[in-house]
C-alpha cells in the first residue's frame, strides 16, 4: 500500500528518534567498535519499507552489520569507515527530508478524514470521481442534525490523497459509511467469485441468471440493512428519504473502493475514532457491525 506524505512524515518522525547507535574507532586495535546495531538494523528496514534512499539502504544491508543479529560488533577499519559514512549520510538525508515535510505538509485536524482517489487517467475521470465522493458524503452529512461539511484542506500528488475537513459529528458518520461500503464491496466480490465458479461448472444460462438475480437481491438487502443500521446509529428519526441517500452513498463508495479508493481517519485521530474506519489492508476480512440476531437453535 502506497503511503501518503503525511504517513511518511509520521513514520520518519518515529524513525528519527531511534538514531542511538554508536560506532567508534579503536585506534589501539585498529578497528571500529559498534553498539546499538539491533536498533540500526530496525531503522534501516523501516526506511526500506518506505521505499526511500534505495541505493544507500541496499549498500547497508549488504554490509557486515547484517551478517549477525548481535547488538555489538567489531568491524575492520575500511568497512567500518564506509558503514559510518553511510549511516551518517542516511541520518542526514532523513533529517533533511523530514524537515521539508514538516514545513510543506499541513497538519491535520482531528475532525478530518483522508481520502485516497482511485487511479485517474484524465480530467474527465477526475471530475467524475470527485463528484461521486462529493455526493456520497454531502447527501448524508450536510444537514442540521450532523452539521457536517466537506472542505478540502490539502491535496497530495502521486497517489492522490485529499484531506477533507468534515466536522466533529460527521467523522463518525463518514467512518460508518466507509465501513458499511467495505462490507458491501466484500459482498460484491463474493458474488463475482460465485459467478466465476458457476460459469466454470457450465450451468445452463437460465439457472445462471437465477443465481445472479438471487445474488443481486441479496446484495440489495445487505445495502438496505447497512443503511438502516447507519440511520439508527447516527440519526434521531427514521426518514425514508435519508435512508435512500445512505443507500446511494454506500453503492457509490463500494464502487470507488473496488477501483482503489480508500477512506481513512486523520493521522492525529484518537484510537477510538481510528478504529471506526475499515483497515484497507484487511478489506476482504471485514464484518458487518450489525448485531446478529440470536439463533433460536442455539438455546
Asked whether residue 299 is assigned to any structural domain, the reply reads no
Instruction: Tell me what pLDDT residue 56 has.
Output: 94
Q: Is residue 231 part of a domain?
A: yes
From the list 273, 272, 10, 20, the residue with the least C-alpha distance to 263 is 273
Same domain for 177 and 67 = no
* All residues at 6 or more sequence positions from 134 whose CB lies less than 8 Å from its CB, including other chains: 150
74 and 121 belong to one structural domain: no
Confirm whether 187 is domain-assigned: yes
Share of the chain above pLDDT 90, in %: 71
End position of a domain, from candidates 104, 135, 162: 104
SS3 letters across 62-88: CCHHHCCCCCCEEEEHHHHHHHHHHHH
Residues 168 and 122 in one domain: yes
Q: Are residues 58 and 164 in the same domain?
A: no
DSSP annotation of 112 reads E
Give the largest CA-CA distance in the chain: 87
The pLDDT of residue 194 is 80
Quick one: pLDDT band at residue 1, thresholds 50, 70, 90?
low
Of 80, 104, 128, which residue is a domain's last? 104
68: domain range? 5-104
Domain match, 122 and 21 both:
no
pLDDT tens digit string along 96-118? 999 999 998 888 999 999 999 99
How confident is the model over 182-217, as pLDDT tens digits? 999 999 998 888 877 776 666 666 666 777 788 889
Claim to verify: residue 69 and residue 196 sit in the same structural domain: no
Domain end point (choices 36, 71, 104):
104
Asked if residue 298 is part of any domain, the answer here is no
pLDDT tens for 16-72 read 999 888 988 887 778 889 999 999 999 999 999 999 999 999 999 999 999 999 999
pTM here is 0.78
Instruction: Give 295's pLDDT tier (boundaries 50, 70, 90).
Output: very low
Dist. CA 236–CA 145, nearest whole Å: 8
Alpha helices in the chain (DSSP H): 5-15, 37-49, 54-61, 77-104, 123-141, 168-200, 205-234, 240-259, 271-274
Kindly state whether residues 85 and 142 are assigned to the same domain: no
Q: Specify whether 89 is located in the same domain as 65.
A: yes
Amino acid at each position: 500500500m502506497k503511503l501518503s506524505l503525511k504517513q511518511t512524515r509520521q513514520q520518519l518522525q518515529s524513525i528519527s528518534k531511534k538514531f542511538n547507535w554508536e560506532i567508534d574507532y579503536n585506534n589501539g586495535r585498529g578497528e571500529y567498535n559498534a553498539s546499538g546495531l539491533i536498533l540500526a538494523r530496525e531503522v534501516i528496514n523501516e526506511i526500506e519499507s518506505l521505499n526511500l534512499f534505495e541505493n544507500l539502504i541496499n549498500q547497508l544491508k549488504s554490509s557486515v552489520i547484517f551478517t549477525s543479529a548481535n547488538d555489538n560488533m567489531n568491524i575492520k577499519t575500511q568497512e567500518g569507515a564506509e558503514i559510518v559514512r553511510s549511516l551518517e549520510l542516511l541520518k542526514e538525508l532523513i533529517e533533511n527530508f523530514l524537515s521539508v515535510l514538516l514545513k510543506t505538509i499541513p497538519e491535520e485536524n482531528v475532525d478530518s478524514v483522508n481520502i485516497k482517489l482511485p487511479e485517474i487517467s484524465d480530467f474527465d475521470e477526475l471530475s467524475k470521481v470527485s463528484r461521486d465522493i462529493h455526493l456520497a458524503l454531502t447527501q448524508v452529512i450536510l444537514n442540521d442534525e450532523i452539521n457536517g461539511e466537506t472542505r478540502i484542506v490539502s491535496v497530495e500528488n502521486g497517489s492522490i490523497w485529499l484531506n477533507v475537513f468534515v466536522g466533529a459529528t460527521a467523522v463518525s458518520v463518514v467512518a460508518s459509511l466507509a465501513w458499511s461500503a467495505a462490507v458491501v464491496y466484500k459482498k460484491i466480490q463474493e458474488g463475482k467469485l460465485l459467478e466465476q465458479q458457476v460459469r466454470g461448472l457450465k450451468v445452463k444460462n437460465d439457472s445462471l441468471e437465477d443465481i445472479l438475480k438471487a445474488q443481486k437481491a441479496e446484495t440489495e438487502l445487505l445495502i438496505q440493512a447497512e443503511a438502516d443500521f447507519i440511520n439508527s446509529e447516527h440519526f434521531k428519526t427514521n426518514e425514508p428519504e435519508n435512508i435512500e441517500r445512505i443507500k446511494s452513498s454506500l453503492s457509490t463508495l463500494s464502487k470507488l473502493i473496488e477501483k482503489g479508493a480508500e477512506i481513512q481517519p486523520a493521522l492525529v485521530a484518537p484510537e477510538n475514532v481510528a478504529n471506526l474506519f475499515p483497515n484497507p489492508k484487511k478489506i476482504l476480512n471485514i464484518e458487518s457491525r450489525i448485531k446478529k440476531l440470536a439463533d433460536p437453535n442455539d438455546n
